[in-house]
Structure 1
Amino acid sequence: MVKKEILLIDGHGLAFRGFYALPENLCAEDGTPTNAILGFMNMLFKALDEWPSSGLAIFFDAKGPTARHLMFESYKGGRKPTPEGFKVQLPLIAELCEAMGLPVFSREGVEADDCIAATARACASDGCLVRILSADKDLFQTIDENIEVIRPSRGVTDFSLYDRRSFGEKYGFAPPLMADYLALTGDSVDNIPGVPGIGEKSAKELVGKFGSLEGIYENLETVAKARRSKLEENRELAFKCRELIVPQPTDAVPQEELEAKEPDVEKVLSLCAKLGLKKLAARFKSPEEVPAEEERGALSITEAKEVPLAELLKSGEIAAAREGEIFALADRSGRFAKFEPSRAEEAQALKEWGARGTLYLYGLRELLTEFPDMPLPPYERIRDLEAENYLLHPDRGGRSGIARAINMPLPEGRELALLLFGLCEALEREIAKDEKLERVMKEIDIPLSFTLAKMGRTGIHADAGMLSAVEGELAAHIAESETAIEEYVGEKINLSSPKQVARLLFETLRLPPIKKNKSGFSTDASVLEELAKLPEPLCTVPRKIIEYREESKLQSGFVQPFLKLAREGGGLIHSTFDHLATGTGRLASRDPNVQNMPVFGEWAERFRECFTPRSEEHIFVAADYSQIELRVLAHFSGEGKLIESFRDGRDVHAETASWVFGLPSDEITPEQRRFAKTVNFGLIYGMSAFGLAQRLGIPRPTAARIVDRYFAVLPKVKEYISGSIAEAKAKGHTSSIFGRIRPLSEVSTIEGRGNNPLDRVAVNSPIQSTASDIAKIALMKFDLALEKAFPSAMTILQVHDSIVCECRREDAEGVEKLLVDTMEAEEVLAVPLKAEPKRSASLKGL
């Protein structure tokens, strides 16, 4: 017996996908946008043509709250406001569907997904074969023997059909467990946070191995430590997320209502004429009414037309996207051309166009790094989708962040080039609402891409011979440490195994356990440090294990990978400096991370000594901002004592100690200054009295008195802390002096870290963001000035608040003065900036 086939369509989701998949400049004669309508209709008829069904229905979300909003107060609260261009088109889509005789359903207080799930299961239980057309992963839960899901996989042209077999091949677990998977990964579209730090790969492994959340938490002791701690801290959140994802019970639509009716042809044609939908109209006209050009490919996806490069370059605005070693260029009319940077005549043509044109792209810094000779317009006429998205959503940057926002993977090549105009303009409208935010993009983030790409290409020199020698000596020392411990305890221990180390310390040596975790007694760094304080000989083994771990980490994490890169790069190591990667706007470094090289200890010094100028005639010149974040705090708080101290060039930590302890500055001991310094910096990062007590090794009541005294003598600092928290929560985001924002609803990296983690973000982000932008502005200005004044010199590093360059020894004095003057020239704070210079023949001295 042939099963009755039914197609259930997620109307809202498909319309939303169509809105972002087609250019925003598609409009009717009266200016009504039509990209969502065209995208929806393309997907609808492609599905109807490919999967003819005897029953169908299209479901839309109704306005107003649903049961989920009552369950989870912030449900969908973090979504960006619905674009006005989309709002206009949604009712037109529903009106067109109804005019075409297609059953349309929208139920007050019920989400479309829930109604689709209930209807699918009811029809499947009656023996029907049900297919659900949706871009929403939630509906994968419904897949069973008689339910399949059709999901757009690329733009509005390609679909993937998932049944139980294909779903299992892709995800590695059964469809009903999709709710558990999404509870871990989260769903930014619906503002479902998931478990912070658990990505798609980890979630697949966990659900594939243990099944449901219950299975995962029952077997938590077998999960790797890093994942286990994240899961432990967010147990309640995980189950709450799953509750939001599982379909809510609701009545199914009766099968008899899933029947298409005769279309109201007159109304369809009237709407098509109004909206300029000629290809849709062609489906409802008799053959003699349809002109030949309309008949061909009726309602086919908007196809880009390839034209010669010279023809395309007549356009004033062009979008570019990589296709391997060439580029696809497109204009707003949907035309495209291929551009090969290696062809001199094409490069010259693009260069001439760049003198007048505006370029849209994704990933300016990466393009400049990989294609340094590619001719581009001045940065003022470059629109970078990556930078624009980061500016609005710094905690949701990159391709994955944009993909979550538009509910589809960001394509590549020609398809991306065609999308760039609409995507960029949607973001630019949001940015343009804030003049300061627009300036951050135009004056910092876009031009900084040129500086960072150049710095990455320049690289830093590493002496491979010296690194090789350090590797050999370090390996020998690690082996000696292992042997020494083995001889001391009389047995061989795998020092990389926490279980074996715990057994050695707490069973064999009977040392006092400090704390427990799920798998037993902890042997983390804090435990070993406490055990190392025990009297001899009890402290011997803990100290040796600390030494072993530090040496092993340095060897595997730094010496070996940097040696490999130095050999591959002919002595030069090229890092990627990324200014679009951190929530606060701080510059990041990766592949490798040259900002996080070890500093303290004998081996760290030996390692840093291996990084030298390119020749003996060269030297490193660097300068570091002195206490820049405290200076920003002084500016934000308006605290007179801090401002006066910085303006007079006094030692702010000694001054703080003097105020807190009520002693003259010249009577402050080094220990009291250390206490004050810890308090000064700790408060910026939200340190409590408990944390201060731990850091200083003093009783908690003593630490609490120090904090109280600090705020008593610096009351405006306390006012700033409480005021910045209230202001950020009222606005929904933090703001720096320059106008850089950080939406609190999107911050996920601090979940579970003690009390009031968002309060710490509200206090610290404006300070750290302001300090980092000051440093980035100085970096740009210095690099430009250095190139003009000292052409042989080069900027090679920025490590947070410091800038490092390499120059000839005879130029060192002039380069140092230029560096210090440039760093101190930015006048945005109520206190002066101070840069402290250094020179050295290796990174060891910086």
Structure 2
Amino acid sequence: MSEKQFQDQKIVLIDGHSILNRAFYGLPDLTNAEGLHTNAVYGFLNILFKILDEEKPEFLTVAFDVHAPTFRHEMYEEYKGTRKPMAEELREQVPLMKDVLKAMGIRLIEKAGLEADDLIGTLSRRCEEAGMDVVVLSGDRDLLQLATKKVKIRIPKTKGGRTEVEDYLAADVKEKYQVTPQEFIDVKALMGDTSDNIPGVPSIGEKTATKIIVEYQTIENAYAHVEEIKPPRASKALKEHYDMARMSKELATINVHADFPYEVEEGRIGNLFTKEAYEWFQRLQFKNLLGKFEIQVPANAIEDRFRTVTDPAEAQAVLGRAASAKTVGIALEKNRENMLPLFSMGSEITGAAFAFSHDGKEEVVSILVGGTLTAEALLKQISALTESRAEISMFDVKQDMKNFRVCRPENVFDVHVAAYLLNPLKSSYEPNDVAREYLDLTIDGKLSEEKKRCYEAYTMYQGAAILREKLQESGMEALFDEIEMPLVFALFDMEQAGVKVEARELKAYGEELGVQIEKLETEIFELAGEEFNINSPKQLGAVLFEHLQLPHGKKTKTGYSTAADILEKLAPDYPIVSKILEYRQIAKLKSTYADGLAHFIQDDNRIYGTFHQTVTATGRISSTEPNLQNIPIRMELGRQIRKVFVPKEGFQFVDADYSQIELRILAHCSDDEALIQAYREAKDIHRTTASQVFHTPFEEVTDLQRRNAKAVNFGIVYGISSFGLSQDLSITRKEAAEYIDRYFETYPGVKKYLDGEVAFAKEHGYVTTMFGRRRPVPELSSSNFMQRSFGERVAMNSPIQGAAADIMKIAMIRVNRRLKEENLESRIVIQVHDELLVEAKNEEVEQVKAILKEEMEHAASLKVPLIADMSVGANWYEAK
């Protein structure tokens, strides 16, 4: 590199491991569809793009350590053991990061025997000598020693949940640390750095080290004046450990004259947003970054098969050929500005794409609505197609059924549901994810909507067989065919039925809550002796722990913590705290339910919520718009909101609730004789457990003992720890541990079963329910103790909770089917975990109760009875 060859051009040098490490710990864990951890890579790229936008350099190079950092001194061997090993979730992202950077055409550099900071130090010196401006990006402040007038060190840091970057030229280092960049090395050598395994000099901290170097500039000069150094302990320490100080300086000094080949031109920035990079970003599911690409991904060969049809006769011919195919992939083209929540034949459809094979020839056809081909006519033809012998493969069938009728549900394959079963840990599932993961097909996000639909239809067509094979391999084909797919149609019926809400009653309920909130505000202000914003944690903390001097205050960076667990400890002794907790509960009731539910009431006074089967990892159904499953029932005021849910005229609510289903499943799965016998004898299971655990005759068990045993019974299902139980029961951790030990002595089969599930999960990476549902447990391989502990609880609980969800799904399917087969007007309107609510016609109530009891209690064959408790009422509150 000739001197001044690159005069006034700029290069950015990035400390790869350092920035990757910072990104890893700065972002929550992310995984893609393949289960790859991606948070460090995602964070790295965001920091990279931020720096490139700000600096606009001509050149870029990222340096990595080859292995663990190389030791620079033989004496260092005795100190190296203190370095913390890299987290496995981070380690696996290092090669991933390199692959992504290579795909972007970014120059990487690494060399055995040299650390990344040596490479960066040498490059910064070479580039500066060539007349370049140099920007070094690293989270390691050691690199501040490289700062000059032309070399700027940029150090990212997290502040307020956002990434900020500190900038240091030589003058900035002097201003911040009182020493020059070169002297910064000596300061670090004296004070040491445990994170970087630099021992330093005992008894000399940062303040003293800085003072010494400000006065004497170097360790060597300081040693020459060692008798003059103050305080005396620092003088004594330097005298006794001068060799250590010299070694530390050698360790802290970055090599700026390392020997390795590098041509600056190799680092010139070209087009970072290549096709290869686009495919990586797609694979890693970095959707927020895809907008940076302006490339046109070359068309896949299958696009040659795409064609568009607008003629009604030709469209009918296409669908006629599709009807004789083995599998037909369908994707509806929708007008996104006119999406309707309820069944409305065709009003939102602008076309549909179909993919199938006929006479050995693949067809991918987009049929567009227009002219004489109406949306209604097209949808009727699709409904007719579902009557054929062809398997209909779609994505999110339940959503599309708002537009057409499915005549033969048993012939439908929902790719969305299948993808969920195969990986239930993802936060979302999209057709392009399925295309990439199972078909190795990249769908360009910039394609026209018509082409996207063709790709989607093709993915549904090709994906059905591949996904079914994966389901077979994982033992979940029966789960898919017999539970999940029939459930799609049961949930659709429930969503279409909706549930009636008395809007005036809801308004009155909200107003009543408002009155109580105002009353509590007044009482709280009187007890506090001042008015303040109760909803402000900062103001509340100041009132409680500064003005009122309440105990147990925990100071954080933003003020005192007012978390529920802290306030609950204070509530029994301090009325103001008790009233604040009550205020919070009522305020949430008002905002979330009284006010929130009102937004979802339609013109017919009914709420049409959405029930999801592809959200939870355990298989439980979830509810949104609104969330009907979170309506509070623990406090009486919360339960009263159920009074606004009413059946339509001439109907009543019948509520059926499984009794202790998870404990019954635990008894079945663990094969514990004592637990099974207790259920077979229909004993009070909590009183039985209390009798055994507390060595008390059954008839003499106190209410407190029963409550404690109940907490243990349900806690065991969730893998509760002694700490967790001690918090729940307000007892010591030792007492809680004794309760758990006695429980396992009483029910040894349960202990053996739970331990076995954890061992299986550690070996195989997943657990299964009795119906074959898999729940991956990647947390068990984490290097983080808390994550592994969470994984153990997941391994214990998921087979139980998942089986309960499966049983409820089977019951829903069967009840829904019976109601329709017997031509009843009654319909399921709400499902909440272990509970089904049916809007039953007055004349059908007894028949509905019989159906619910028969189908719920026979949904699974367990070693203990399944019991469904039944009640009837004029509103949900009464029925429950």
Aligned pairs for 1:251-400 within 5 A = 302=301, 303=303, 305-308=306-309, 309-313=315-319, 314-315=321-322, 316=325, 317-324=328-335, 325-332=349-356, 333=362, 335-338=364-367, 340=369, 343-354=375-386, 355-368=388-401, 372-376=402-406, 378-399=408-429
Instruction: State the Cα distance separating 1:413 from its structure 2 match.
Output: 5.5
Structure 1 match to 2:806: 773
Contact 1:619-1:808 within 8 A present in 2 as well: yes
Q: How much does 1:425 deviate?
A: 4.5
Structure 1's 107 and 206: CA in aligned 2 closer, same or farther, altered over 3 A? closer
Name the CA shift for 1:365/1:351 in 2 (closer, same or farther; >3 Å).
Answer: closer
Distance across 1 between alignment mates of 2:545 and 2:622: 40
- What displacement does 1:760 show? 0.2
- Are positions 1:453 and 2:468 aligned together? no
* Distance in 2 between residues matched to 1:714 and 1:585, nearest whole Å: 27
Residues 621 and 839 of structure 1 are in contact (CA less than 8 Å); yes or no, is this contact kept in structure 2? yes
Does 1:545 find its partner at 2:595? no
Partner in structure 1 of residue 614 of structure 2: 580
Q: What is the distance in 1 between the residues matched to 2:300 and 2:153?
A: 31
Number of the residue aligned with 2:725 = 692
Task: Give distance in 1, aligned partners of 2:552 and 2:267.
Answer: 67
- How many angstroms does 1:606 deviate by? 3.0
**SS at structure 2 position matched to 1:619:** strand
Q: Which amino acid aligns with 2:333?
A: R
1:749/1:350 Cα in 2 relative to 1: closer, same or farther (>3 Å)? farther
Report the CA distance between 1:506 and its aligned residue.
1.9
- The SS at the match of 1:491 is coil
Give the structure-2-normalised TM-score.
Answer: 0.63
Please report how far the alpha carbon of residue 711 of structure 1 lies from its aligned counterpart in structure 2 after TM superposition: 1.0
Call closer, same or farther: CA 1:300–1:74 in 2, change over 3 Å.
closer
Distance 1:658 1:413, change over 3 A: farther
Matches within 5 A, 1:753-792: 756-792=789-825
Note the C-alpha offset of 1:377.
6.0
Q: Select 1:511's aligned residue among 536, 550, 553.
A: 550
Contact 1:330 1:418 in 2 (8 A): no
Q: Which residue of 2 aligns with 1:262?
A: none
- How far does residue 497 in structure 1 lie from its aligned partner after superposition? 0.9
What RMSD in Å do the two structures reach over aligned CA positions? 5.0
> For 1:399, what is the secondary structure of its paired residue?
coil
| Whole-angstrom distance in 2 between the partners of 1:608 and 1:780 | 25
Q: Which amino acid is 1:543 matched to?
A: S
- Indicate the structure whose relative CO is greater, using CA pairs within 8 Å and at least 6 residues apart: 1
For the structure 1 residues 459 and 206, does the alpha-carbon distance in structure 2 shift closer, same or farther, using more than 3 Å as the test?
same
Matched, 1:678 2:711: yes
**1:196-247 per-position Cα deviation (integer Å, ceiling 9, x unaligned):** xxxxxxx9x94456789xxxxxxxxxxxxxxxxxxxxxxxxxx9xxxxxxxx
Matches within 5 A, 1:328-727: 328-332=352-356, 333=362, 335-338=364-367, 340=369, 343-354=375-386, 355-368=388-401, 372-376=402-406, 378-399=408-429, 403=433, 406=437, 414-419=451-456, 420-421=459-460, 422-434=462-474, 436-534=475-573, 539-566=574-601, 568-615=602-649, 617-727=650-760
Tell me the distance in 1 between the aligned counterparts of 2:454 and 2:129. Answer: 46
3-state SS of 1:595 partner? helix
Aligned residue type for 2:698: S
Change (3 A) 1:654 1:345: same
Matches within 5 A, 1:126-165: none
Distance across 2 between alignment mates of 1:544 and 1:558? 20
How far 1:511 moved relative to its partner? 1.9
Relative distance call for 1:126 and 1:642 in structure 2 (3 A) is farther
Letter of the structure 2 residue corresponding to residue 723 of structure 1: G
CA deviations 1:480-518 (Å, max 9, x no partner) are: 221222234332111111121112212222222354444
CA 1:409–1:647 in structure 2 vs 1: closer, same or farther (change >3 Å)? farther
- CA shift in 2, pair 1:176/1:638, >3 Å: farther
Structure 1 unaligned runs (5+)?
Answer: 5-63, 82-93, 95-101, 111-116, 130-140, 143-173, 182-202, 213-238, 240-248, 260-296
CA distance in 2, matches of 1:596, 1:672: 29
In structure 2, distance between residues paired with 1:588 and 1:430: 25
Query: In the alignment, residue 468 of structure 2 is paired with which amino acid?
Result: E
Contact 2:366 2:450 in 1 (8 A): no
Contact 2:500 2:605 in 1 (8 A): yes
Give the secondary-structure state (helix, strand or coil) at the position aligned to 1:331.
strand
Q: How far apart, in 1, do the equivalents of 2:331 and 2:851 lie?
A: 37
Q: How many residues align?
A: 633
Q: 1:621 to 1:432 in 2, by over 3 A?
A: same
Deviation at 1:658, TM superposition (A): 1.9
Structure 1 623/415 Cα, relative in aligned 2: closer, same or farther at 3 Å?
same
Q: Which residue of 2 is the match for residue 270 of structure 1?
A: none
The CA distance in 2 between the partners of 1:447 and 1:806, in whole Å, is 21
- 1:321–1:414 Cα contact (<8 Å) kept: no
Give, in whole Å, the separation in 2 of the partners of 1:338 and 1:250: 65
> 1 CA distance for matches of 2:488 and 2:444?
21
Q: If you compute each CA radius of gyration, which structure gives the higher value, 1 or 2? A: 2
Within 5 Å, give how 1:727-742 maps onto structure 2: 727-742=760-775
In the other structure, the counterpart of 1:46 is: none
Distance 2:259 2:500 in 1: 66
CA contact (8 A) 2:364 2:454 kept: no
Contact residue 78 and residue 745 of structure 1 kept, 8 A: no
Q: Report what 2:190 is aligned to.
A: none
Using the alignment, how far apart are the partners of 2:433 and 2:6 within structure 1? 39
Deviation at residue 479 of structure 1 after TM alignment: 1.5
Whole-angstrom distance in 2 between the partners of 1:627 and 1:440: 23
| Whole-angstrom CA distance in 2 between matches of 1:571 and 1:747 | 48
Task: Tell me the secondary structure at the aligned position of residue 618 of structure 2.
Answer: coil
Q: CA deviation at 1:400?
A: 6.6
Does the 8 A contact of 1:312 with 1:335 survive in 2? no
Distance (Å, rounded) in 2 between the aligned partners of 1:812 and 1:665: 38
Q: Name stretches of at least 5 consecutive residues in structure 2 with no aligned partner.
A: 10-65, 70-84, 97-102, 114-119, 139-151, 168-195, 197-257, 269-295, 310-314, 336-348, 357-361
Please give the per-residue CA displacement for 1:52-111, whole angstroms capped at 9, x wherever unaligned.
xxxxxxxxxxxx9999xx9443568699x9xxxxxxxxxxxx9xxxxxxx9x9999999x
Q: String of CA shifts for 1:137-196, please: whole Å, max 9, x gaps.
A: xxxx99xxxxxxxxxxxxxxxxxxxxxxxxxxxxxxx9999x989xxxxxxxxxxxxxxx
The residue that corresponds to 1:827 in the other structure is 860
Contact 1:635 1:831 in 2 (8 A): yes
**Closer, same or farther in 2 for the Cα pair 1:342/1:550, shift >3 Å?**
farther
C-alpha contact (below 8 Å) 1:575/1:593 kept by paired residues: yes
**Could you list the per-position Cα deviations for residues 308-332 of structure 1 after superposition, in whole angstroms to 9, with x for gaps in the alignment?**
3234321322332434233431325
In 1: Cα distance, 2:590 partner to 2:297 partner: 64
